[in-house]
Structures are given as C-alpha cells and as structure tokens.
Structure 1
C-alpha cells in the first residue's frame, strides 16, 4: 500500500538552514577568510555541481548561459566550461561589464558574446530549437529592481519560453523577503549553494524558483546562530514526533480540551476534535454551545461533551487536560468572552489560540502578553488576523511576512504560527521555521480548525509551542498530499490521512542519486 502513496517531498539529507542573501554572504566570508576555503574552490564546486544536475535533468540540447558581473556569473561560466569539456554544445551571453575572455573558462572553446544589440530574434537564434538557458545574471545581493541592462536580459530569457536553470536564486528576486520588485527569471529549476535562500522559499519569489535543489560545495559547518530561519523538513519534523511507550494508556498520550463553536458553528468544533483524535490524542473533551451538543456527540462519539453553562464542569475539564485549543467558531460575544476568561484564569495549561480567540486578543479582551510568562501559548493567525493583532493592514503583513511574524512575537511574547504561503513559525529567542509541506490545496475553510486540533494534541503530548506549530504544519500538509484530492481537498480529507502522515519515517525521496544534493523540493503548488 505504501507504494501507492505520493513520494515524500521535499527530500532533505540533513537539517536545512535558510539564510538570507546577507547571511549567505557572511557565511561565504567566514569560509574564505576564517576557515581558509579558497574562493575559487567554492566557485568550482558550485559550477560543477550545477552542471552535473543539469546533465541529469536535461542531457540534450544547446546550453546558453547568461552571465552577469558577480559570482553567479562566474558559477555559470564554470558550469558552461564543465559541460563543454563533457562534449555539450554551449554558448555564453555576457549581460554585464565583464571580460569576454574570462579565465574561468580555462581555455575551453566556449563561444562568448555580449547581449548588446542582440535583440529578441538574436536570442532565439542563439538558443535554437530545444535549447535551454542557465541564468547567472543576478544573485542574492540584489536590492530593488534590476538595472536596465539586466532587466532586459531577464525579459529576453522569459520570452524564450524554454527550460531555465537559475544559479542560487532566480535573477530578480529579493533573497531575504521573497519580493519581486521588477523583472525576475521564471526558472524550471534553481540550484542553491549550501542551502536554499530564504527569499526563494517565500512568495511571490517561490513561484519563480521552480524545483528548488540545494547542494553542498565545501562550505565548513555553518553556525546555525548566524542564520535566522530553518526549513521544516520531513526528518526534522519526524524527529520531534512524540513516541508512545508500549505500556501507555489514554491519560498518558495527551488529553485535549477543545473550546470551540458558538451556536450554528458546530462544524468548527467537530473538525478540531476529529483532528485532535486523528493526531493521536488519548482523550478529547469539547466545550461548545449547548445547541451544538447533539451534532458534536453524533459526529464524534469519542469526545466528551462539556456544558459551557456549568462552570464546575469546565473547571474540572481544565484540571484534567494537558492542553487547550481555544477559538475556532467561538464568536466574540458574551459566551466566548466568558469561556476565554475561564480558560485563562484556570489551571496553567498549554494553549493554542486560534480564530475568534485571536479576534478577542486584537479587541483587547484577551491579553496574550500577560499570559505568555505563565504558560506555553501558540497563536495561529492568518494574515488578516495577524494584521489586527499588529494594528496594521493585511498588505503590510504580506509584504514582509518574516518581519510581521517577528514583530508579533516580540509584542506578545508567545510562539506564533503565521498561516499562508508558506506558513511560518516563530517564538521568543528562536529562529523562524519555514513550512515545506503547504500548498494551495489547503486554501479551504476549516483547515485552520484541523490545524488547531493537531497542534493542541502535540502540545498535550509534550512538545513546546514552537515545535508543535511546525510539526503540526508538517503533518497537515503531508496528510493533504496523501489525500490526493488536489483543489477538491477538504479538512475532513486531511484529518482522515493524519494517521498515515504520523506513521511515515523517511528523509524524503529524490531521483537525483548524488551525494552532494542536500535538499530537493518540488515547484510551488
């Protein structure tokens, strides 16, 4: 049966950092100036690694390298020289102030010409039928839109409509924020050196990067404290999954209290409860509006109903749980405020704050900052909820999601999971964790409710708030892929496949059987 499952992606050999362009430059400098790795060695390894992957993926056709003035251009020249030595038909187009007799070619007969005066027809003639392009125009140091000459080269590359491999990042993207301030290369594959750059993991730049592959090129071990973000890979997430003892029982594997669902919103409560159970909770209680009781108990007979009108029952439920999921479908009226107040003034249990509980927080009726010192809290806003928490607008949040996340973490002192493309997790004193499993298939009402149930279960089983958020994202994203429903995916599909996602143990798969490949992720979906 396992053979029927979609392959586990991305592949990741080791833990994967995600440096910004500035961080990558600092790591380069450390490797060269402190450790003593010669810069030409790094460039040689980069170009040859990219050449080997290109040869695996596209063994036929002319290879046209578009060369800029920086190190990316040098990497492209090494790639072209390597392919020429292997017998490939190659040509270099220099789109910058750079010598046409570059010593990086080592005397190999690589035709080199300038882009000046080439014109659209000239570009098409050089690439020819079945040809492909290597993009070495701009690198990770870009700030703002490309200059006129480089922008024109990018336009010409995209106009060809051919297969494109980008060096390190697609030319034209912001390697820190994922912005695309002007023209950017639409790559089929991006080969990143050392690690995928943070900007290429963030939208809108992610949609320009295509298949994203990172390779080892002889960097010394990186100091993780020098990099502000990390990718949530399959191996990273699986290593944090709680393990059950053989002699365990229901009260030892996570007891979750769900406080969700005002009148008419029983569905939200049902989804949270089902997700918590499918994620492995040993016992789940649900406190929901009395009008929802029959629906909830019929839909999920495994859950224990708690009457919100009975303060003693809710207090007992709080005492007998290991984590609370608060907010989905709860509303912001008197009942919601009373329930939230009871939860936060009761026993100090780990807390997932979602949906309407976040709206209460943005209205000043739930003070996350005052609660943070006393218990583990994971807040899970989407961009609109994050904007309200920060007192700004959604556009500002989306323009720099990393900065918005870091501002919110600092302001509220809690772990935060910013949903979106991709979802991000941050916590005080922690690196940002970048989700790798999400896709547009998850853009459906109720997915956040399912995520709340999963995260609450993981916190009930002992994970800290940050790791619960990241592992919860991984599990729901992988379950979505296992469901195989594409754009027709529903939260119930995800919940149904959670047990399969929990049971997987793999670092992912890649058909690139090359020892220097560290990371291999499919194009954005």
Structure 2
C-alpha cells in the first residue's frame, strides 16, 4: 500500500479545478505565472532535501511545458546549492514558451549553470533505440530522480523518447520525486494514459509533490500505486477561500475520519438496541460466504444476526458459530418470518444465480427493509429489472459491487469501469439510485447529493475470496446501529480496510477473510 501523509487535505479536485485556481491567481490576483513556477520549484527542492536522505547527485527530467519549467527551477536551485546535477530535456530550449522559457533563461543565467550536464532526450533516445539500450539515459550512481516531464495537461499515451525516459526512470534503483503527478498518469481517472492498443507508460514515484490542489486520480486505481507517498503544497492558492471558484469532487476518507460516528453504548443497553440483521445466502457449496458475512456483522456490533441458508448447511454452521441464528430455508414463504423480524437484510454472499437465489431475492426486494445488495444478488439484479423496481420500496439500499459486477449492471466491460471509476460509480447512482460502494484499490462510495468518498487503506493481501462477504456484514451491522446508507457504506469501507491492514501486519500473502474478524472487533469499538 502506498503511504499517505496524514497532513494531506481531505478534499480532492479535478484537473479543471486546479486550472481554474491558476487562472484566478494570474488574472484576478495578478500573480505572474513565473512566480507560481518559482513557488512550485522551491517547494519541490525543500521537499527533496527533507524527504530523501542526503541527496547529492540529482537527475532532473524536464518536459516541454510548465511542468518542465518547474524542473528548470529545481535544477537551478540544486546547481546553486552545489548538487551534482544532470538535466535531461525532451525539447530544444528554443521551443519553450511562456513561464517555462523564463525559467530556462534563469537557469542559464545562474553562475553554476556550466556545471550542469544537459542531455537532449529526443536525439539521445533515438540513438539508443537503434542500439537497443534505454538504461544509459540515467547514470547508476544517482541519489534521486526528479520527474517533471509532464503534468496534468497530458491527454495521450507517452511514446518515443518520452516513453523511453519513463522506462529509464522506472528501471533506476534511485528514489523518484514526481512534481504534481507522476508523468503519464491521468490525474482525474487514476489510470495510465494508454493508446488504442492498450500501451502506455507512467512514472512510478517514490514521492509525489501534489501542487495547488490534490488530484482525485492519485488516490484510486493505478494512481494509488504510482504516486507513492504524497505531500501537498497549495502554493498560496487556497481552494477553500471564499473567492475560490471550485468545490471538491471527492474526499479522502480514512478510518480516523470515522471515529465518533457511533454513539457510546449506555449501561442499560440490550441486544434489541443494536438491530437485527438477516443475511440471506449460501447456496449449495457456498455456505462459508454467509457465515463470513454473519460473523462480521456480529463482530461489528449488530445485536442479533440470523443467517438464512440452505437447510443442509444449517447444522454445521450452528456448530461452527453458535452465536449466529442459522435457519434452513428452501422457499420464500419460509424466509418471510425472518424478514419480518429483521431491520436490515444483506443478500448476496454465496446466493448463486439459480432458482433458489432468485426467488429469495424477489421476496427480499419487496420487503421495504434496509438492504445491502452484494455478489450474486447484484448479478441477478442485472438480469431482472423487475427486482430492482421492487427494491425501490426500501428507503436505504447499499450496493457493494466489484468492478466486474458493476460492469454487468452498467452494460459495459470491466475494463471500461476501471478506465474511469468515478464516471462508472456516478452513472450507477444516476441510473439506479441508492448508495454504491465500488470496491477496488481506492474504493469509491457515492450517492445522490453526496460528494464521493475515496476509502484509504487496504492492501494486496486482501485480494482473496470472502473479503467482500465480510464487507457486506460490516455494512449491515452499521446500518443496524443507526447509520444512514452513505455513512454506513463509507465507514464500513474504511473499517474493513483498516482491519485488513492490521491483519496483514503478520504477512500479506496467505491472508484470509476470516483473519479480519478479530481486528474488526478491536477497531469497531473506536467508532
């Protein structure tokens, strides 16, 4: 998992918002563009000295635009401070314009400029391409690489010399500081910019210095891994000032942000005060899914939990987890008394897409109860629109799809969902209503009238069967204890991720879903 600084602002923005703030500063506040560039370069130079242990040999990669101009400022400051410096440029100096050209002239005018080793990447890279050698772009003894190739203005896949420069940066053992965003990353979507054949390159940064406003794409999908640790500097352009023309497009949401959402339990409390959750699932051969969801609901504070599953599973489940009330059901009529006693129904874990699961989902959809809809229940909804219409009787519906399930519901490919997770989850909210928790790296939680929350936390060890079933139980438990759908979903995502991180302290590989149950109990009490 990429490190995330606790000092980062919670509010995240799109590229268009950052540009609006730039225009406001230049056109309304009268701040010259070169002054903003100087601020960016100076902040980057301070960060690299603070965060990278005694760097003396720097390699700066500069592109043709304003991001490259930031690199020229950094190079000048490093040269003036006595650093051993190489500057690799993607363009000829005569092609530079605006503030970037001014930054280049200031670099040339500094007394230390003669000691700077300048390399033109376009010509050198073409020669190395013929010789089959990319790695020589960078010397082996570099202490730090500074990536200022491209910023947020890039809208296409990197090719040619730019792509070769990125590969050389990524192949280097030296840490990498990317200024604003890692070059090649779409700052809005969190995806590497790719061509029609799916080819694309992006820098994998050790540290990213986010400028002006934090970009939403750094916190989900590929952006989360490529950006490394993130630090932020607003350069004096405050997005939350009264004169700012922008509003957040998303919020970072961490476990620490959830503390206090549940009230303390009074001494005279009893189990009926904390809700009755009904878990429906566990078709033949899939009993474990329902058990995991039910156990998670209990561990996260639900007062009572009933698991409705196939009759042949009931004895073994009761023996394995006696705190669960396990009922064998083979028909909707057998399920109805349990529906009437429950406040929250979670349906989907191990449900299957056969007749048994379909008929139970039809009955649940007409219940009017608060619902958590997961796994095969979502697949059945994608097949049968009438079920979704029936669900509209429920005031609270939380859907918890992974990207493939979201794709089925949206009628697009999984790749399309992952290409723009923000657009995908917003489309689901717009077209189907309810709360949507789109699982994945940087889980997104969205609902009508709410700003998207991006869950921070979690790790690759959680990529294992049953994790989604546990999350379903967590959401259901928080709903049963009185949280609204959006709050329950976003809190559950962070709680689940934090439990996964705590469980992974003993190792990521080999982590199983049941390992989260104990840390869930420890963490939920902090809420």
TM-score w.r.t. the length of structure 2 is: 0.85
Work out whether 1:62 is the aligned partner of 2:83. Answer: no
Larger deviation, residues 488-497 vs 424-433: 424-433
Work out whether 1:177 is the aligned partner of 2:189. Answer: yes
| Shift in CA distance, 133/328, structure 1 to aligned 2, threshold 3 Å | same
1:417-470, Cα deviation, whole Å (9 max, x unpaired): 122223222212333222221222111111110000001111122222222222
Instruction: Give, in angstroms, the shift of residue 491 of structure 1.
Output: 0.6
1:206-239, Cα deviation, whole Å (9 max, x unpaired): 4332333333432223379633222222332335
Partner of 1:167: 179
Q: Within 5 A, what are the aligned runs for 1:30-49?
A: 30-34=24-28, 39-49=33-43
Q: Distance in 2 between matches of 1:365 and 1:336?
A: 15
Aligned counterpart in structure 1 of residue 236 of structure 2, from 209, 214, 218: 218
Work out whether 1:81 is the aligned partner of 2:81. Answer: no
Larger deviation, residues 228-237 vs 310-319: 310-319
8 Å Cα contact 2:206/2:228 also seen in 1: yes
1:235-271, Cα deviation, whole Å (9 max, x unpaired): 3233545543454332223331211212332211110
Aligned counterpart in structure 2 of residue 412 of structure 1, from 421, 429, 432: 432
| Shift in CA distance, 489/374, structure 1 to aligned 2, threshold 3 Å | same
Q: Distance in 2 between matches of 1:477 and 1:449?
A: 13
Q: Within 5 A, what are the aligned runs for 1:110-125?
A: 110=113, 111=116, 113-116=118-121, 117-118=123-124, 124=136
Q: Distance in 2 between matches of 1:13 and 1:451?
A: 28
Q: Distance in 1 between matches of 2:256 and 2:338?
A: 35
Per the alignment, in what secondary structure is the counterpart of residue 181 of structure 2? coil
Q: Within 5 A, what are the aligned runs for 1:200-239?
A: 200-222=218-240, 226-239=247-260
Partner of 1:23: 17
| Shift in CA distance, 242/43, structure 1 to aligned 2, threshold 3 Å | farther
Instruction: Give, in angstroms, the shift of residue 16 of structure 1.
Output: 1.7
Q: Distance in 2 between matches of 1:320 and 1:34?
A: 61
Partner of 1:256: 277
Q: Within 5 A, what are the aligned runs for 1:33-432?
A: 33-34=27-28, 39-56=33-50, 57-96=52-91, 97-98=95-96, 99=101, 101-103=104-106, 107=110, 109-110=112-113, 111=116, 113-116=118-121, 117-118=123-124, 124=136, 127=139, 129-146=141-158, 148-180=160-192, 181=194, 182-222=200-240, 226-241=247-262, 243-308=264-329, 314-346=335-367, 348-364=368-384, 367-369=387-389, 371-372=391-392, 374-432=394-452
Partner of 1:437: 457
Partner of 1:514: none
Aligned counterpart in structure 2 of residue 453 of structure 1, from 467, 473, 478: 473
1:3-32, Cα deviation, whole Å (9 max, x unpaired): xxxx99634236522323233222333444
Q: Distance in 2 between matches of 1:242 and 1:320?
A: 24
Q: Distance in 2 between matches of 1:108 and 1:247?
A: 77
Q: Within 5 A, what are the aligned runs for 1:456-467?
A: 456-467=476-487
Q: Distance in 1 between matches of 2:167 and 2:380?
A: 48
8 Å Cα contact 2:190/2:216 also seen in 1: yes
| Shift in CA distance, 67/9, structure 1 to aligned 2, threshold 3 Å | closer
Instruction: Give, in angstroms, the shift of residue 282 of structure 1.
Output: 1.9
1:25-79, Cα deviation, whole Å (9 max, x unpaired): 2233344445666645543443233222211223233112112232222322333
Structure with larger RCO (C-alpha < 8 A, sep 6+): 1
Q: Distance in 2 between matches of 1:423 and 1:133?
A: 31
8 Å Cα contact 1:16/1:195 also seen in 2: no
8 Å Cα contact 1:133/1:157 also seen in 2: yes
Q: Distance in 2 between matches of 1:122 and 1:298?
A: 62
| Shift in CA distance, 406/149, structure 1 to aligned 2, threshold 3 Å | same
Aligned residues: 498
Query: What is the Cα-based RMSD across aligned positions, in Å?
Result: 3.0
Q: Distance in 1 between matches of 2:29 and 2:289?
A: 55
1:68-119, Cα deviation, whole Å (9 max, x unpaired): 2322223223333334454433343332233484236883524363515445
Q: Unaligned regions of 5+ residues in structure 2, if any? A: 195-199
Q: Distance in 2 between matches of 1:405 and 1:224?
A: 25
8 Å Cα contact 1:308/1:339 also seen in 2: no
8 Å Cα contact 1:176/1:197 also seen in 2: yes
Per the alignment, in what secondary structure is the counterpart of residue 437 of structure 2? strand
Larger deviation, residues 465-474 vs 150-159: 150-159
Per the alignment, in what secondary structure is the counterpart of residue 407 of structure 1? helix
Q: Distance in 2 between matches of 1:40 and 1:319?
A: 67
| Shift in CA distance, 250/219, structure 1 to aligned 2, threshold 3 Å | farther
Larger deviation, residues 434-443 vs 333-342: 333-342
8 Å Cα contact 1:273/1:300 also seen in 2: no
| Shift in CA distance, 79/300, structure 1 to aligned 2, threshold 3 Å | same
Q: Unaligned regions of 5+ residues in structure 1, if any? A: 1-6, 506-525
Per the alignment, in what secondary structure is the counterpart of residue 487 of structure 1? coil
